[in-house]
Amino acid sequence: MEIQQIPSAINPDQHQVGLVHIGLGAFHRGHQAVYLEKTLAQHGGDWMIASANIRSNYQLVEQLEAANYCYPVVEYTDSQHLVVREIKAIKQAFFAGNQAERQQLLAQMSTASTKIVTLTVTEKGYYLSPSSGDLLLDNPAIVYDIEHPDAPKTALGLIVNALKQRCSQGTPAFTVLSCDNMPHNGIRTKNAVLGLARAQDASLAAWIEAQVAFPSSMVDRIVPALSADDLQKIEADTGITTPTVVKCEAFCQWVVEENFPTGRPQWECAGVQMVADVSTYETMKLRMLNGSHSLLAYLGQLAGYQSVAQAMQNNDIRKFLEHYMQQEVAPTLTACKAEELLSYSQQLLTRFENDSLQHQLSQIAMDGSQKLPQRWLSGLIEQQQKQASSAATELGIAGWLFYIQQAALQKTPINDPLEAELFALVLAQYSNSFELISECLSQQDVFPPSMTTNSALITRLAALFDALQAKEDLLEMMRNACKSTDNNH
């Protein structure tokens, strides 16, 4: 086994906090913090991170504090080649579920030295309708933050409160940078923050709209949740037993829109791509990488696999994903060159096969209602407009609805904000599958109106759903989807 050790090259005492991050999960520690570590090592500056968890995992905050905010990131190219990187870019951590620490976090966000607030709170942490992009003003967490603006519980509430303090103090606004997998994540974050601000104070909302930059970004690195088996493997490979260890793939990418009025770290020295427009990168990644992941999450589990790497050992599944990316997604990415898309899809298949990352399909399957509009449905609509086949995507949609129905029948939680509504939909009494699919597609929080009225599409989805219920050979269904490049619309 080949192991490269990279010790930290920074002295945290020489750098102050310039960036607050909300969402202190493994992804943040294995992605943004690694980029900041490299940037500080080369250029210095007051760009250390103060990171916060909002509701869960107080234990992680305590563990980081006990380790003096130093932790290892283990980057696997494959099971035989890895890099152990020591990270010291986080200077402080808070647990905002605790009232005293929430006030400390707000004080840090409100101080002039904090120039940027970044977020990894997953799609559901923005409380936006997946289909319309509007803030869900009737969501209980948002209702609470509207009624208790000085004791917020959401990331949005924390941002609005801190900006209110800065506005009243005459302190320049910080820049808000979403690092979540959403298309146009800067615009969506702005919509969410302004939606909450308007519900609290119209003049504050006007100040935020005029003063706050919301650049978009695209992040890419597979950082799976750690299982007990992962921890044992890391210990066997490296001797590391620290509970704050992060495991990830060697590949890493961050594309950021250049829009930071009060300054930013010199990220480009660490490999960050600073660009005028992120949208081409994010659409390619969402539809190809994340869309493939979602296909694996539902169909892979139905085929009996637990992890991405296991499912990728099946050649039918590999060919199915290749077909999906090259025949159904690539035609929708007109801003990209054909050879670039071919190269990217092959690179993704190799990354998915990485046997050192036991990326659990159940983890990817969470929050499907929030993810699928941008991963599958936006591309599907474009393909329908061209009268082109989307047989693999359609099998994915049928697989997702079947997955939900099986979970509902077994009373197994699916960890989705719309779980109750989705379970009610798939368990209702229908005369046939066409009626069931029609009702599911009328869930406008997920599906766009054009799908609700497409009877040919509903007929195909109902046939696929019936086949899954009849336990027909799923791999044969995947092979058939790959043959469906003819005009079937």
The rounded distance, in Å, linking the Cα atoms of 329 and 451 is: 18
Q: In this model, does residue 449 exceed pLDDT 70? A: yes
- Tell me the longest C-alpha to C-alpha distance in the chain: 69
Instruction: Using the CB atoms, write b or e for 363-393: b if 16+ within 10 Å.
Output: ebbebbbbbbbbbbbbbbbbbbeeebbbbbb
pLDDT tens-digit map of 89-130: 999 999 988 899 999 999 999 999 999 999 999 999 999 987
**Distances from the Cα of 35 to the Cα of 29, 50, 114, 322, angstroms:** 10, 15, 18, 31
Q: So what's the pLDDT on residue 55?
A: 81
Strand order in the sheet with 175-178: 90-95, 48-53, 17-22, 116-119, 175-178
52 φ, ψ to 5°? -140, 140
Q: In this model, does residue 199 exceed pLDDT 60? A: yes
Q: So what's the pLDDT on residue 489?
A: 42
pLDDT tens-digit map of 307-353: 999 999 999 999 999 999 999 999 999 999 999 999 999 999 999 99
Q: So what's the pLDDT on residue 250?
A: 94
Average pLDDT on 429-449 reads 94
Q: So what's the pLDDT on residue 485?
A: 63
Q: So what's the pLDDT on residue 488?
A: 45
pLDDT tens-digit map of 13-43: 999 999 999 999 999 999 999 999 999 999 9
Among 13, 45, 128, 27, which residue's Cα sits nearest to residue 418? 128
pLDDT classification of 356: cutoffs 50, 70, 90? confident
pLDDT classification of 355: cutoffs 50, 70, 90? confident
pLDDT tens-digit map of 247-262: 999 999 999 999 999 9
The rounded distance, in Å, linking the Cα atoms of 335 and 395 is: 27
Q: In this model, does residue 154 exceed pLDDT 60? A: yes
16, 113 Cβ separation under 8 angstroms: yes
253 φ, ψ to 5°? -145, 145
Q: Hey, what are 72's tokens?
A: 């290892």
pLDDT tens-digit map of 41-54: 999 999 999 999 99
